[in-house]
Structure 1
Amino acid sequence: MAVLILAFMPAEKTIGQTIKIVYLHGALSRAGMVGLMAGGLLGLAYLLRPRPLLARWTRALTLSGWLYWTAHFIVSMPATRLTWGPWIAWGEPRVTMTLQVIGAGLGVIVVSWLLGSERFMAGANVALGAAILLTAIDTGVLRHPLDPIGSSPSTTLRFT
């Protein structure tokens, strides 16, 4: 469904068909954030009431959130190149934050797997979920718009 929507969306006035890559980048970013924060919430639930089902869910949500978050960074590279010039906008605070979350998430996933402790994994997932929430709130922008669709004057964009 998402592929069809992206395929048939009209070009944007300023950046043309590149807008489709930008939309995909934004969707992957949001999905990654939601996955990592949900993994953190279920990690907290596991710490309060240790249940194998909660451990499986916190692990799965954190891993899938991290994969979506990493995919959003990869997809952002051609969008960055086509709109701003460089492949990676190193001076953009959101890029730094993204790479920090990718690194921290990889560390949490690998160390949790190596230790094999569900309690450690749940606690680390709580910390990672809280970290992405706090850094997303606190990280500023230089050129990167925070919510280009929601702040657009176009009712068509806000509807999609």
Structure 2
Amino acid sequence: MDVEESLRALRERIVRAEGKPESEEARARWEASLKRAVAFMSTFYGVLGIATALAAPRALAKGTMDDFKAMTQERVLGLLDDYFAMIDAYKAGESEDIVPEMLQHEASVRMFRALLATWQFGPVAPEPLVRLAREILSKIFRIDVSDEELDRWEGPSDPAPSGDAASGAGGE
């Protein structure tokens, strides 16, 4: 599901639950708020996907992380730049869309981005990248999985079908 589809689905659920705002000004604020929420979730969970793929070396080597396989270095770095833009907007008082752990562990994610910028994407991630990915999973996303489990994990047991969602189609 791409961002526009997510936005449409979220809008429909809110309208069913609460109704649509009456005034034009309220509708514009409502729409802007929905777009920010979808962009935040898309970015936040995109970073989760990147960290998951890199935290599990066997899954990465086997190529079982379809979302990551479809990513280019440019897209991954752009997603992380969007993540930092959310943090910067929060620090500037321009947004309230933040998870406290994002601020607490910003330095680790910036180091993660710096390492990703120098790595030639491939089936084997360098150990410092794997270590930072695991730290991000644990500290920001609160996913506590042992190193042994991540070292053994070979990816999803039932990979996503290679349709539009898995191939990254929709919007490009």
Report whether the alignment pairs 1:19 with 2:34: yes
CA gap of 1:101–1:135, structure 2 versus 1, over 3 A, is same
**Displacement of 1:98 after TM fit?**
5.7
Matches within 5 A, 1:71-150: 71-75=82-86, 80=90, 86-87=93-94, 93-97=100-104, 99-112=106-119, 121-136=125-140, 137=142
Pairwise CA RMSD of aligned residues?
Answer: 4.6
Matches within 5 A, 1:43-82: 44-45=57-58, 63=73, 64-75=75-86, 80=90
Residue 103 of structure 1 aligns to which amino acid in structure 2?
R
- What SS does the aligned partner of 1:107 have? helix
C-alpha distance in structure 2 between counterparts of 1:132 and 1:124, whole Å: 12
- What SS does the aligned partner of 2:94 have? coil
C-alpha distance in structure 1 between counterparts of 2:87 and 2:8, whole Å: 18
C-alpha distance in structure 1 between counterparts of 2:116 and 2:72, whole Å: 8
Q: Could you say which structure has the greater relative contact order, defined with CA pairs below 8 angstroms and 6 or more residues apart?
A: 2
- What SS does the aligned partner of 1:16 have? helix
Q: Which ranges of structure 1 fall in alignment gaps of 5 or more residues?
A: 139-160
Residue 109 of structure 1 aligns to which amino acid in structure 2?
L
C-alpha distance in structure 1 between counterparts of 2:51 and 2:139, whole Å: 13
CA gap of 1:59–1:66, structure 2 versus 1, over 3 A, is farther
Q: Percent identity?
A: 11
- Whether the 8 Å CA contact 2:53–2:59 is kept in 1: the answer is no
C-alpha distance in structure 2 between counterparts of 1:94 and 1:45, whole Å: 27
- Whether the 8 Å CA contact 2:101–2:139 is kept in 1: the answer is no
Report whether the alignment pairs 1:2 with 2:16: no
C-alpha distance in structure 1 between counterparts of 2:105 and 2:81, whole Å: 8
Q: Deviations along 1:30-87, whole A, 9 cap, x unmatched?
A: 012112211221xx2289xx79x79xx9898694545323323425766x59xxx812
- Whether the 8 Å CA contact 1:46–1:122 is kept in 2: the answer is no
Which structure is higher in helix share? 1
TM-score (norm 1): 0.50
C-alpha distance in structure 2 between counterparts of 1:62 and 1:108, whole Å: 15
- Whether the 8 Å CA contact 2:53–2:68 is kept in 1: the answer is yes
- Whether the 8 Å CA contact 2:54–2:133 is kept in 1: the answer is yes
Q: Which ranges of structure 2 fall in alignment gaps of 5 or more residues?
A: 144-172
Q: Which residue of 1 aligns with 2:157?
A: none
Q: Which residue of 2 aligns with 1:40?
A: 55
